[in-house]
Structure 1
Amino acid sequence: MRIAITGASGNVGSALLRRLAERGGHDVVGVVRRTPSEVEPFAGVEWHAVDLSEDQDEPALAAAFVGCDAVVHLAWGFQPTHREDYLAELGVGGTRRVIAAGVSAGVPHLVHMSSVGAYSPKQDDSPVDESWPTRGVTTSMYSRHKAAAERLLDDLEAEGSGPVVTRLRPGIVGQGSAGSALLRYGLPSLVPRSLLSHIPVLPLDRRLAIPMVHADDLAEATVLALESLATGPFNLAAAPAITAEDIAGVLGARLVHVPAAAVRAAVSASWHARLQPLDAGWIDLAFAVPLMDTSRAQSELGWSPTTSASWVLAETVQGMQDGAADASAVLRPRTVAGGVKKFLRDGPVSRRRTS
C-alpha cells in the first residue's frame, strides 16, 4: 500500500512511521513543511516539502498524493496561540486543501486525525460514544478548529463521490520522545525544563478528568483503519482517565484544589501579558472534554490500548523532564539556549507563524 502522511515528522507521525516500518510492505510519502533528517524513524520515506497553510502549495500537495492508496492527515498547528489567523489557515484550511488534493489525485481513502477536542462539552463523566455532537468548545481555539474540520468531512461525505473517510478521535496523545515538543507548547522557552522536577504544589481543580492515549497505540489504530478500509469515527483512549491527582503524583507535587475559573483567570492574564504560550481556551477544553467509550474501535478495528493512560502520562512527563527529542524540527530538543537564539532571530513566539 502506498500511504501519504501529512505531519509525518510530529508526535503521532513518528509513531505511525515506526508502526508501518514494523508491518512492512508499505511505501510511505511524508508531507511536511520541514524535511527531517534521514535517520529512523524518518529514513526510507519519500519526503515532500509542502506548507498546508499556503494556497500556492496546493499543486505540490496534489502531486504528492498521486498514486497513493490512502492519505493520513495528521498535520496541525498548536503555536503561536496569538495568531489564530495562521492556526486556522493551517488546521482548517490545511484540511480543506488535503481534501481537495486527495479528490483531485483520486485517493480512495482518507484517514483524518480529529480529536476528543472536537466534541461538544460533556454533561458528566459518563463515557460518550461517537454519536456525541462534534460542535466543539466555543471558547477553545483548538476545539473550534477541530470541529470546523469535521464539518469539512461532513460536506465531503455528503457529496458521495469522494474517498472513504475515517475519523480518528483520540484523547491527549503522549510519548516520551515528544517530551521536548510538548513542553515547548506549554512552557516559556526561557524556563528550564528542570523546573518540572521541583514543583512542590500543583494548583488545579480536582474535578479534572481527561482521556489520554499513547502515540504507539494511536498508530496501531491508524494502521488497522488503513488495512481494513474502515469508515466513520472511532474514539481512541486508554483507561483510566487522567485526574489532577495523577498529574500531581507524577510531578511529585501536592495537589491544592483551585477552582477551574481561578486557574483560567491566571492562565488568561499571563497569556495576554505574553508571559507564557498557553491560552485560556486550553483550560476550558480540559474541563469540558468528555470521557470516551472506545467500544467501536475494539469491535470494528480489533483495537485495544497496550499502555495505560497513567503510564502514558508518566512516560510523557519523564520525557519532558529529560528533554527527550527526536530527529525532526517538530520533535527537536528544547533548550533555554535554543529558545534565546530563536527569540533573537525570530522574535517572541506570539508574533511567529510557527514555534
Structure 2
Amino acid sequence: MRIVVTGASGNVGTALVSRLQAAGQHDIVAIARRVPDYAAIDGPQWVSIDLSDPGCGHQLRHALHGADAVVHLAWGFQPSHQVGYLEAVGVGGTQRVLAASAAADVGHVVHMSSVAAYSPKRDAEPVDESWPVNGVPTSAYSRHKVAAERQLDSFEKTSAGTAVARVRPGIIGQRSAGSALLRYALPILLPAKAIAAVPVLPMPAGLTIPMVHADDVADAIVRILEQQATGAYNLAAATPISAADIAETLGARWIPTPGRVLRALLAASWQARLQQVAPGWLDLGAAAPALDSSRAKHELGWTPKASALEVLRETVEGMTEAVAGPTAALRHRTVLSELSQLVSHGPVSHRRQP
C-alpha cells in the first residue's frame, strides 16, 4: 500500500512511520516542513512541504499521486502569539490536504483530530464519539480542530468514493518527545532538570486529562488503514490523569487552586512573554472530557498497551532528561540552543521555526 503521512517528523508521525516501516509491505511518503538530514535507502521518501503555504497545492498533488491512503497528522503549536499562522497550518493545511486527496483520487483519508474538538464535559463520565464537536471557544487549538472537522464533514459529502476516518486522541506522550515538549512549555532560561525541581503545583481540583502513548495511537492508525475503517475513534487509556497524579509524578505538592486565579496568572505571564503557554490551554484542560474508547476496541481490536499514568511518567522522564528524536521537530533542547534561537529568531511564542 502506498501511504502518505503528513507531519511525519512529529510526535505521532515518527511513531507511525516507524511502525509502517517495520511492517515491510508499504511504500511510505513522509511529508514534513523540515525533513531529516538522513535518508535510509529502504526508508520512507521524505518530501518537504509547508502546509501553511496556500501555494503548496501542486507539491501536495504530486506527493499524493498514486497514494492508496493519506494520514494527515500535521499541526502547529507554536508560535502561540501568531494564531493566524497556526490556523494557516492546521485549518488551511487540512483544507489543502483534502483538496489534493480529492484531485489524486485517494481511496482512504485518516485525519488526526483531538479530544480538544469536543464540547466541554458535563461531569466525569467518559464520552463516546457522539459527543458534540463544538470545542472550547477560548482555546485556539480547540477552535482550529473543530474547523478541521467541519472541513472533513464537507469532504465526506462531496467525495463519496473516499473512505474517511478521524481519530480523537487524548494528550499524546512518549519519551522521545521530551525536548519538543520542553520548547513548548518551559521558559528558555530553565534547564530540563527544572521539571523535577518543582516544589509545589497549583492546579484546579477536578482536573482530569485523557492520555495515550504515541505508539498506541500509531497502532490504532495502522489498524484503521488495514481495515479501511471509517468514522470517528476515541483513543485514550482507560483512566485519565488527575491533578494529584501530575503533582506526584513531578515530586511536587499539589495545591488545589481556583481555575480563574491560575488563568489570570497564566495569561499575564504569557502576555509578558515570560512563558509560551497560552491561557486557552488551561481552559481546554479544565473542559476536556474523559474518553470512552470502546468503539476502537470493538471495531479495530485496539487496546492501549500503556496506562495514562505510565504515559505521563514516561513523558515527564523524557522532558527531565531532554530526550530527543531523529527529526528537527524532536531535536535536542538545551538552554544554550534556546538562547541562540532567541537571539537569532526571537521568542518561540512569536517565531516560525526555521
Range class of TM-score, shorter chain: over 0.9
Query: Which residue of the partner structure matches residue 136 of structure 2?
Result: 137
1:64 corresponds to: 63
Is 1:264 matched up with 2:238? no
What per-residue deviation string (whole Å, max 9, x for no partner) do you get for residues 9-59 of structure 1? 10000110121122220111011101113268x971101110000012110
- Amino acid paired to 1:113: M
**1:123 match: secondary structure:** coil
Superimposed CA distance per residue, residues 209-235 of structure 1 (whole angstroms, 9 cap, x where no aligned partner):
010000000000000000000000000
Alpha-carbon distance in 2 for matches of 1:24, 1:226: 15
CA 1:43–1:321 in 2, change beyond 3 Å: closer, same or farther?
A: farther
Any unmatched runs of 5+ in structure 2? Answer: none
Residue 11 of structure 1 contacts residue 331 of structure 1 at CA under 8 Å; is this kept in 2?
A: yes
Asked if 1:13 corresponds to 2:19, the answer is no
Residue 32 of structure 1 pairs with residue 32 of structure 2: yes
Q: Do 1:38 and 1:44's aligned partners in 2 also have CA atoms closer than 8 Å?
A: no
Q: Does 1:328 pair with 2:353? A: no
Q: Give 3-state SS (helix, strand or coil) of 1:137's partner.
A: coil
Paired with 2:168 and 2:260, the residues of 1 have a C-alpha distance of: 27
Q: Distance in 2 between matches of 1:275 and 1:170?
A: 30
What is the deviation of 1:353? 2.2
Identify the residue that residue 150 of structure 2 maps to in structure 1. 151
CA distance in 2, matches of 1:43, 1:283: 43
> Structure 1 CA distance, aligned partners of 2:162 and 2:134?
23
Question: 1:122 is matched with which residue?
Answer: 121
Specify the alignment match of 1:113 in structure 2: 112
2:22 equivalent in structure 1: 22
In 1: Cα distance, 2:273 partner to 2:225 partner = 42
Q: Which residue of structure 2 lines up, in the alignment, with residue 283 of structure 1?
A: 282
Identity between Structure 1 and Structure 2 (%): 55
Match of 2:186 in 1: 187
- 1:39/1:327 contact within 8 Å kept: no
> Which residue number in structure 2 is paired with residue 340 of structure 1?
339
Q: Structure 2: how far apart are the matches of 1:43 and 1:170?
A: 30
Distance in 2 (CA, whole Å) between partners of 1:190 and 1:22 is 39
Q: TM-score, normalised by structure 2?
A: 0.98
**TM-score for both structures, normalised by structure 1:** 0.97
Report the AA paired with residue 166 of structure 2: R
Mapped to 2, the partners of 1:283 and 1:39 lie a distance apart of: 39
Q: What's the Cα RMSD here? A: 1.3
Deviation for aligned residue 1:206: 2.3
CA distances 1:318-349 after superposition (whole Å, capped 9, x unpaired): 00000100111100011111001111111122
Secondary structure of the residue that 2:142 maps to in structure 1? helix
Corresponding residue number in structure 1 for 2:173: 174
Task: Report the Cα distance in structure 2 between the residues aligned to 1:310 and 1:353, rounded to whole angstroms.
Answer: 33
Aligned partner of residue 31 in structure 2, secondary structure: strand
Query: 1:223 is matched with which residue?
Result: 222
Letter in 1 for 2:14: S
Q: Contact 1:111–1:166 at 8 Å: present in 2 too? A: yes
Q: Deviations over 1:82-114 (max 9, x none)?
A: 000100000000000000011111111000000
Quick check: 1:2 aligned with 2:2?
yes
Question: 1:73 and 2:72 equivalent?
Answer: yes
Count of residues paired in the alignment: 354
CA-CA distance at 1:350 after TM superposition: 3.2
Counterpart secondary structure, 2:34: coil
The list of structure 1 runs, each at least 4 consecutive aligned residues, that deviate by more than 3 angstroms after superposition, is none
Q: Structure 1 residues 187-196 or 261-270, which shifts more? A: 187-196
* 2:5–2:13 CA contact under 8 A, matched in 1: yes
Q: What is the letter of the counterpart of residue 64 of structure 1?
A: A
Q: Deviations over 1:108-142 (max 9, x none)?
A: 10000000000010101111110101111000000
What amino acid does structure 1 have at the position aligned with 2:135? Answer: G
SS at match of 1:166: strand
Paired residue secondary structure (1:349): coil
Contact 2:21 2:43 in 1 (8 A): no
